Amino acid sequence: MRIWVAGVTLFAGIFSGGVQAQEAIANFYRGKTIQLVIGSSPGGGYDLYGRLVARHMGKFIPGNPNIVASNMSGAGSIVATQHISIVAQKDGTVMGAIFPGAIIEALVGDRSKIKYDARRLNYIGSANNELYVCIVRADAGVKTFPDFLKGNILIGASAAGGSTRDFPLLLSNIFGANFKIVSGYPGSNEILLAIEKGEVQGTCGVSWSTISVQRSQWLRDGFIRIMAQEGMRSSPELDKQSVPLAYSFAKTKREQQVMQVHYDPLTFGRPFIAAAEVPTDRIESLQGAFLKAMNDPELRAEAERLRLDIAPASGKEVAAIVNKIYDLSPDVIAAARAVIGNK
């Protein structure tokens, strides 16, 4: 009897502590607004995912705060990540939706401009496993991936650190691609507009979900061709169209390892973050709310209408992958830096 009473008392204490913790979170968030900073320009794939989460996640956070999305493009989401890490409130009222490249920039990019430690960021979760593609206008005169590599194609790209700039450089330096890279576009939406206007002929490092949703008419009308899939896992839809996986063209183990450094982060293709200093209990509430939102029938139904793929990863899963990448050997990292023009 004493053991039973002690067990009930312990359970009641744990339950009561959990309720009190939830009440404390609810009291903090009630009546507040969470700012979701989207590290890309309006209209792109990351913008669509960020705003989808903003519309649905708040109802799963204790206290039901409003979530308001705003765009802060620049340097492949590095500007937004710096803002969240350094400038923004550290109390759990600011989150970010960023490019995976901003997470590994300190490893493979310009370290001098990184003022945050990606290993210390709080990861709320990721909305899907991403796949990037290389696309080209059908009138560019190339039909296969090898033709694309040697076709002297004018490639639209963002700034250094963005996938649309780094991924074509990766292909150039591993496979000897003969691209002319035009950098400086704010985001994928502007690059796609440039392709439409004929300013450039194609791009690499743009998400397949962005192309299939925003430019589905291009696919339907044959305006573009998909030249390659960029990532470690292919799309069954693109496999049926015989679109090759760029990784499969690697000839040596070192080439494979270097490509993996750049492609592995796509397993957390749409990461959501918060500053390192946000209290643990609030981070756990945000992480839990994110996963509930990802599995919410209303969010899923809207994502289906928007043709957005939902394949969530938890914040802890994202953090584990980030640490795995940062633990790679220095020689592999040095080679991965070199192929995108960094020493």
Amino acid at 310: I
Residues 125 and 136 in one domain: no
C-alpha 316/C-alpha 193 separation (Å) is 37
CA-nearest of 234, 231, 286 to 263 is 231
The answer to whether residues 260 and 171 touch, using CB atoms and an 8 Å cutoff, is no
**Count of other CB atoms within 10 angstroms of residue 33:** 12
Residues 29 and 122 in one domain: yes
Determine the pLDDT at residue 10.
Answer: 47
156: left (phi over 0), alpha (psi -120 to 50) or beta: beta
Q: Give CA 103 to chain center in angstroms.
A: 9
Residues 250 and 146 in one domain: yes
Residues 77 and 226 in one domain: no
Residues contacting 112, CB < 8 A, separation 6+: none
249, 265, 281: which is the final residue of a domain? 265
Residues 68 and 146 in one domain: no
For residue 15, is pLDDT > 60?
Answer: no
Q: Which residues pair with 271 in a beta bridge?
A: 126
Taking only the tens place, the pLDDT of each residue in 254-308 is 999 999 999 999 989 899 999 999 999 999 999 999 999 999 999 999 999 988 8
The DSSP element (H or E) to which 260 belongs, if any, is helix 253-263
Residue of 312 and 17 predicted with greater confidence: 312
For residue 313, is pLDDT > 90?
Answer: yes
For residue 4, is pLDDT > 60?
Answer: no
Residue with tokens 């592995």: 264
Residues 191 and 244 in one domain: yes
What is the domain-level CATH number for residue 116?
3.40.190.150
What is the domain-level CATH number for residue 204?
3.40.190.10
**Count of other CB atoms within 10 angstroms of residue 100:** 27
Residues 253 and 138 in one domain: yes
Determine the pLDDT at residue 162.
Answer: 82
Look at residue 151 and tell me if it is in a domain: yes
Cα 109–112–115 angle (5° rounding)?
100
Number of domains present in the structure of the chain: 2
Look at residue 319 and tell me if it is in a domain: yes
Residues 15 and 111 in one domain: yes
What percent of the chain stands above pLDDT 90?
79
Residues 58 and 141 in one domain: no
265, 291, 309: which is the final residue of a domain? 265
Look at residue 343 and tell me if it is in a domain: no
C-alpha 96/C-alpha 203 separation (Å) is 25
218, 245, 265: which is the final residue of a domain? 265
**Section 330-341 average pLDDT:** 93
Residue ranges making up the domain that contains 309: 2-129+268-338
